[in-house]
């Protein structure tokens, strides 16, 4: 049941006095304790209002439970002296007898334990975090305690449990079978969870965050609060941002934060989100299998989530958020520079927003005809040049599939090429995940890039590792994406000072290959292949000699031998 429906039913169950033990279960962080406090505060029943709330977290025996209840009762009592007089007078005869038998019995804890029946008589007791009790506190002790005080002292119990945190399911089954009169299971909706979280962690951008949180189906209130704080950190002191900029940064920030804080059941991984839209990703999605693999089914589900969030395509912004979440170190200047660029490029942001709308119409609005969709695409022509090459490629692909849409898609391409000024560094940063790009656009970039992407980013990753004696997510991603040709270009073109550092670090990677491969993927393998290529190049001058010297000194000369080739299928195997 939703939060509101559960609340209504909860109030009804409390009003029925024969319900001595009521259980409230549900997933961790979905507002069970919050719901109880609301019901308690709004209740007209004095017993409910004066209920005693105790968490069993870490408690090792039933005496610890009783002592904690006494502490709560005294702390909550407005008339503490009166309460204590009532307690001491009721236990005085017993205490005198016990003191006659054992003088040490007069210690405070023993008196407090004697006071429990008096304090709990006709009271409502809330036991929370049952699944987090200490292993030494047996379920039989808890059952006995509940049974004794409901049957002999007129007490009522509310049991609150995080059903998804249970290690031993039999605990809850035993409670349900033996003492629970009524059970409620709370299924808080994402909207309800967000409203509770937003009241505790306000944000100027609450409407946009809420929309993304609902798409991600986040129901954990604690996680939502953390997500809101991440967005507030990223967008602090940035009010009045245009909707296009907010729709660019908020959905992906919410998604990455939700993944980091484990707020999405069965959600995508960081690697999938950061690589979404790559050529491998699209080819897997578009392939037609009679029986799709579990991985493809999962990827299809995740791709649908990214589409609902606004067809997320990642660039440097998401990498910075990823690094922040992983390391806790926030680069405010870098984020500010990116958002400033988004603001300065408001027209581009608006074009992206319009392209998302057009893509949404193309995918979801099945009642629109091809003619109507082509007409909408025509209105996009004046701003098509403002899209990045990857989004343009996606849009052209879908528009071309319409009857009469190919001509419009080609006009989009022509407009984009006419405005192209060339920015190879931006391409190198943004296409780290090899996202699909139209071949004509790629040809334009190839004419400008001329190897700059690899010789800049991979070398910079090595410099960072050298200077910091470590690396971050960005350096891992850059090195994992480096090809043999990228590394060969670096070795052939770097000046002596830079080459000395680059070769030193990569040879270190080679000598400790097992330690680095898990972080850098095929980078070491590609480095070795690049060195073999140069070593066998008779036109490379004295560079092969330098490589052989470095490898000999490192005890790696055998690595320069040609890599063994796999035997062709069907070849005879020597015996």
Shared domain for 10 and 154, answered yes or no, is yes
pLDDT of residue 117: 79
3-state secondary structure 462-514: HHHHHHHCCCCHHHHHHHHHCCHHHHHHHHHHCCHHHHHHHHHHHHHHHHCHH
Shared domain for 211 and 164, answered yes or no, is no
Asked whether the beta carbons of 160 and 129 are under 8 A apart, the reply is: yes
pLDDT of residue 132: 75
Residues in the chain with pLDDT values less than 70: 1, 76-115, 164-172, 276-293, 344, 421-434, 446-456, 563-575
| DSSP annotation string for 506-536 | HHHHHHTHHHHHHHHTTHHHHHHHHHHHHHT
Tell me what percent of the chain is helix, strand and coil, each rounded to the nearest 5: 65, 5, 30
Shared domain for 180 and 197, answered yes or no, is no
CA atoms within 13 A on the CB side of 2: 7
pLDDT of residue 351: 86
Shared domain for 39 and 162, answered yes or no, is yes
Domain boundary among 143, 162, 188: 188
Residue 505: which of 462, 461, 551 has the closest Cα? 462
Any domain includes 572: no
Any domain includes 521: yes
pLDDT tens readout for residues 2-57:
788 888 999 999 999 899 999 888 888 888 889 999 999 999 998 999 898 988 88
Shared domain for 184 and 198, answered yes or no, is no
pLDDT of residue 521: 86
pLDDT tens readout for residues 487-499:
999 999 988 888 9
pLDDT of residue 199: 93
Domains identified in the chain, total number: 3
Shared domain for 266 and 154, answered yes or no, is no
pLDDT of residue 91: 44
Q: Which domain holds residue 550?
A: 452-560
Separation CA 187–CA 30 (nearest Å): 7
């Amino acid at each position: 049941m939703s939060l509101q429906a559960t609340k209504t039913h909860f109030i009804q169950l409390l009003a029925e006095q024969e319900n001595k033990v009521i259980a409230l279960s549900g997933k961790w962080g979905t507002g069970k304790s919050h719901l109880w406090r609301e019901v308690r505060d709004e209740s007209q029943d004095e017993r409910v209002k004066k209920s005693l709330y105790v968490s069993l977290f870490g408690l090792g025996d039933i005496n610890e439970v009783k002592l904690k209840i006494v502490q709560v009762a005294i702390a909550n009592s407005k008339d503490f002296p009166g309460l204590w007089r009532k307690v001491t007078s009721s236990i005085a005869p017993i205490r005198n007898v016990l003191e006659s038998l054992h003088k040490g019995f007069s210690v405070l804890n023993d008196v407090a334990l004697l006071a429990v029946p008096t304090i709990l008589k006709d009271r409502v007791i809330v036991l929370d975090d049952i699944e987090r009790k200490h292993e030494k506190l047996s379920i039989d002790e808890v059952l006995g305690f509940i049974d004794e005080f409901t049957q002999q002292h007129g007490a009522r119990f509310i049991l609150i449990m995080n059903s998804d945190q249970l290690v031993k399911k039999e605990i809850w089954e035993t409670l349900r079978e033996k003492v629970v009169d009524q059970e409620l299971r709370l299924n808080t909706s994402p909207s309800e969870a967000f409203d509770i979280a937003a009241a505790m962690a306000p944000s100027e951008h609450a409407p946009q965050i809420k929309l993304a949180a609902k798409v991600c189906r986040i129901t954990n209130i604690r996680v939502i609060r953390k997500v809101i704080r991440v967005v507030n950190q990223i967008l602090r002191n940035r009010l009045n941002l245009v909707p296009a900029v907010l729709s660019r940064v908020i959905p992906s920030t919410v998604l990455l934060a939700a993944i980091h804080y484990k707020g999405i059941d069965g959600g995508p991984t960081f690697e999938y989100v950061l690589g979404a839209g790559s050529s491998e990703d699209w080819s897997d999605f578009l392939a037609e299998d009679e029986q799709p693999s579990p991985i493809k089914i999962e990827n299809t589900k995740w791709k649908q989530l990214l589409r609902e969030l606004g067809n997320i395509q990642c660039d440097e912004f998401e990498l910075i958020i990823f690094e922040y979440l992983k390391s806790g170190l926030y680069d405010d200047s870098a984020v500010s520079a990116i958002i400033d660029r988004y603001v300065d490029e408001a027209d581009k942001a608006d074009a992206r927003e319009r392209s998302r709308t057009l893509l949404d119409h193309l995918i979801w609005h099945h009642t629109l005809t091809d003619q109507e969709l082509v007409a909408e695409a025509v209105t996009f022509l004046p701003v098509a040049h403002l899209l990045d090459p990857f989004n343009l490629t996606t849009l052209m692909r879908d528009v071309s599939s319409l009857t009469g849409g190919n001509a419009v898609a080609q006009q989009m391409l022509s407009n984009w090429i006419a405005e192209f000024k060339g920015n190879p560094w931006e391409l190198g940063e943004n296409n780290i995940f090899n996202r699909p790009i139209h071949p004509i656009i790629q040809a334009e970039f190839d004419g400008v890039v001329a190897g700059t992407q690899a010789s800049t980013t991979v070398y910079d990753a090595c410099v960072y590792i050298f200077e910091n004696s470590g690396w971050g997510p960005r350096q891992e991603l850059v090195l994992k994406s480096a090809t043999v040709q990228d590394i060969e270009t670096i070795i052939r073109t770097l000046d002596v000072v830079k080459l000395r550092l680059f070769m030193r670090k990569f040879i270190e990677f080679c000598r400790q290959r097992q330690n680095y491969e898990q972080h850098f993927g095929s980078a070491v393998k590609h480095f070795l292949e690049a060195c073999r290529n140069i070593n066998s190049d008779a036109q490379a001058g004295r560079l092969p000699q330098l490589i052989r010297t470095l490898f000999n000194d490192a005890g790696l000369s055998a690595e320069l031998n040609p890599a063994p080739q796999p035997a062709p299928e069907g070849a005879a195997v020597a015996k």
